[in-house]
Structure 1
């Protein structure tokens, strides 16, 4: 084998392993009218969520799927409930501050951000509750009581610069212990026009 062949082989192996390890997905959400929101989730929200104010509806476009989200205020917190395309609840989230995350978990999250970004700024943090099968009532109760369960996740909206790249927006999800679960690159504002 000559030097060019070895270099090419090393390059291909490095590139393929890096792409396998990177869990990057892209997504974007845009606001829609209440009339454009699927009927079944709308009835679920109206029936199960009391005292909701400032209700807004969104369509979320991922690189390979469409989902819907309703955002509202309840008891001074900003909640969001996400539904898949089949109108089933995928998860419930609400906005939190860094002080709301246990110290050990937050330290691990910050260590990850500092290691993987040259510069970064956390724009928002959400605490997420995934639905437990079809038990919507229990999932809503857990979220509205702000229970610290081992199954919760933290979603960070981060604007950051990785080495040698431009500043980009990311959505990064960590588990309750502060370990990375998923990273999604935010799509440009006009991405939905490309899909249709």
Structure 2
């Protein structure tokens, strides 16, 4: 192999590594009517939740997938219930504060943020109950009792500064605060007006 071939191979390797390391999330979320939401998802919500307030339905399109989200308030907490495009439950998230996260877990999350950003600000913190092999009843029961379980994740949206300036990042941590995934979020395009 000559010198040029080695440089091309190395450049290709680093390019692929960068793509794999930090995915970009091109997100567009817009509000939709209940009739535009998957009927299977509506049935799951109605079977598993009562006494909720302010339910709103959204369709989210990003660079990876299409999903549907129902956002509602129950017992003074804000919930987001996400389904795939076929109406299959993906996860339930609760909007929380840093004081709601176990101390050791939050310490690990802070350590990651301090080591990876010169400066950052947390915009949103959610406790996530991912869909597993458990029944819908079990997932909804765990989420709506706000249980802290080893299967939980924490999803954080931060404005973080690195060498290239400030960007929004969506970062996923496991129940112990160990890093799982990061995606760079480009400015979302929210359309909250129903026509």
Give the TM interval when normalised to the shorter protein.
Answer: 0.7 to 0.9
For residues 156-167 of structure 1, what are the structure 2 equivalents within 5 Å? 156-165=156-165, 167=166
Report the equivalent of 2:171.
172
For residues 83-162 of structure 1, what are the structure 2 equivalents within 5 Å? 83-133=83-133, 135-162=135-162
Secondary structure of the equivalent of 1:132?
Answer: coil
Give the TM-score taking structure 1 as reference length: 0.86
- 1:174–1:181 CA contact under 8 A, matched in 2: yes
Give the TM-score taking structure 2 as reference length: 0.86
Sort the Cα spacing of 1:36 and 1:118 in 2 relative to 1 into closer, same or farther, 3 A.
same
For 1:187 and 1:14, the matched residues in 2 are separated by: 22
- 2:113–2:120 CA contact under 8 A, matched in 1: yes
Residues 77-110 of structure 1 deviation map (CA, whole Å, 9 limit, x = unaligned): 1011101111111111101111111111111111
Deviation at 1:62, TM superposition (A): 2.1
Sort the Cα spacing of 1:89 and 1:162 in 2 relative to 1 into closer, same or farther, 3 A.
same
Alignment RMSD (CA, Å):
2.3
Deviation at 1:43, TM superposition (A): 2.2
Figure out how many residues of one structure are paired with residues of the other and give that number.
190
- 2:70–2:80 CA contact under 8 A, matched in 1: yes
Structure 1 residue runs of 5 or longer lacking an equivalent are none
Structure 2 residue runs of 5 or longer lacking an equivalent are none
